Amino acid sequence: MQELIQYLFSGITNGAVYAVIALGFSMLYSSTGLINFAHGEFVMVGALTLISLSKGLNLPLPVAFAGSVAITAAAGLLLERLAIRNVRKPHPIVLVIITVGASILVRGIAMLCWGKDSLNCPPYSNHAPIDVAGATLLPQSIWILALTLLVVIGLHVFHKRFLTGRAMLATAISRKAAGVVGIPTDIMVLLAFAMSAAMGGIGGALIAPISMSSFDMGMTLGLKGFCAAMIGGLGSSWGAIFGGLLLGVLEALGVGFLSSGLKDASAFVLLLLILYFRPTGLMGKATVQRF
């Protein structure tokens, strides 16, 4: 029982990070229909920027956290303005290839800036671990869960209570109709890129204290975030949260009770099962196409 609780703590902690990353995928897809395969690199930028600001410049942790998220959001703005918006024929395959190329470029720049060595970040607080039924709950896990909850609540309030959030939802439903009623759809798309990248930055800032960070960490985390988004239902915010938590828990249980070699494979096995039995995801809605 102690081992089970410990694995659940670990799984929920990692799952919360996957959920935040998956939110970035779902948010951008629901607004633009684009799957950004450079999203994992935004996670990497968020983690390494947090380390540089907190350890390199000795900034207070809240300032470093906000700065890393802001810098990552700015990277998302640059991607949209310099690479996506200027495409003459925005075919989905062309846009996907552009995001793949952008991920390679960002990874190369990160290698030049931070080097190839793995870096670490101090925990958010120095409180002693908490004993729960013989299992150990780290304070960093509580920080991750609390900040994830704040992100989810903040996004919900933004989309339901603020005019800009409602305009983003209208653009996601029908970009043409939103433009007809006067909503600046180009700005909404730009904001969607920035917020999606910010979700990646938050995910990187959350995972930095519990994992070593390096220039090549984004690929694995991006794929797991994408798997979580697909499991829950791509385009569904609540599906992204559910998919991330489910993936984290199943991953931890597979490592604990079966084999550590299943840590990365379990995500893709679960994704294949979901795509085979329910392609729209566990919480996604089936689309109806009329001819």
Interval 129-152: pLDDT, tens: 888 877 788 888 899 999 999 998
**Residue 242 within any structural domain of the chain:** no
**Residue 66 within any structural domain of the chain:** yes
pLDDT computed for residue 35 by the predictor: 86
**Residue 257 within any structural domain of the chain:** no
- Whether pTM > 0.95 for this model: the answer is no
**Residue 170 within any structural domain of the chain:** yes
Give the residue numbers spanning the domain of 187. Answer: 20-214
Higher-pLDDT residue of 91 and 79 is: 79
Q: Mean pLDDT across the stretch 64-91?
A: 86
Taking only the tens place, the pLDDT of each residue in 36-65 is 889 999 999 999 999 999 988 889 999 999
pLDDT band at 285 (very low <50, low <70, confident <90, very high): low
Long-range contacts from 160-167, C-beta under 8 angstroms, 24+ separation: 164/191
Using CA atoms, how far residue 166 sits from 115, 163, 214, 216, in Å, is: 42, 5, 37, 36
> How many domains are contained in the chain?
1
Q: Mean pLDDT across the stretch 60-75?
A: 93
Q: What is the rounded distance in angstroms from the CA atom of residue 88 to the CA atom of residue 151?
A: 35
Q: Mean pLDDT across the stretch 12-36?
A: 88
Long-range contacts from 263-267, C-beta under 8 angstroms, 24+ separation: 264/220, 264/224, 267/223, 267/224, 267/227, 267/228
**Residue 102 within any structural domain of the chain:** yes
> What burial class does residue 70 get, using C-beta atoms within 10 Å of its C-beta: 0-12 exposed, 13-18 middle, 19+ buried?
middle
What are residue 138's phi and psi, to 5 degrees? -75, 145
**Residue 82 within any structural domain of the chain:** yes
Q: What is the rounded distance in angstroms from the CA atom of residue 256 to the CA atom of residue 164?
A: 44
Q: What letter does residue 122 receive in the DSSP assignment?
A: -
Ranking 76-80, 217-221, 275-279 by mean pLDDT, the lowest is 275-279
Using CA atoms, how far residue 103 sits from 43, 126, 139, 172, 229, in Å, is: 11, 35, 33, 25, 19
**Residue 132 within any structural domain of the chain:** yes
Tell me what the pLDDT averaged over the chain comes to.
85
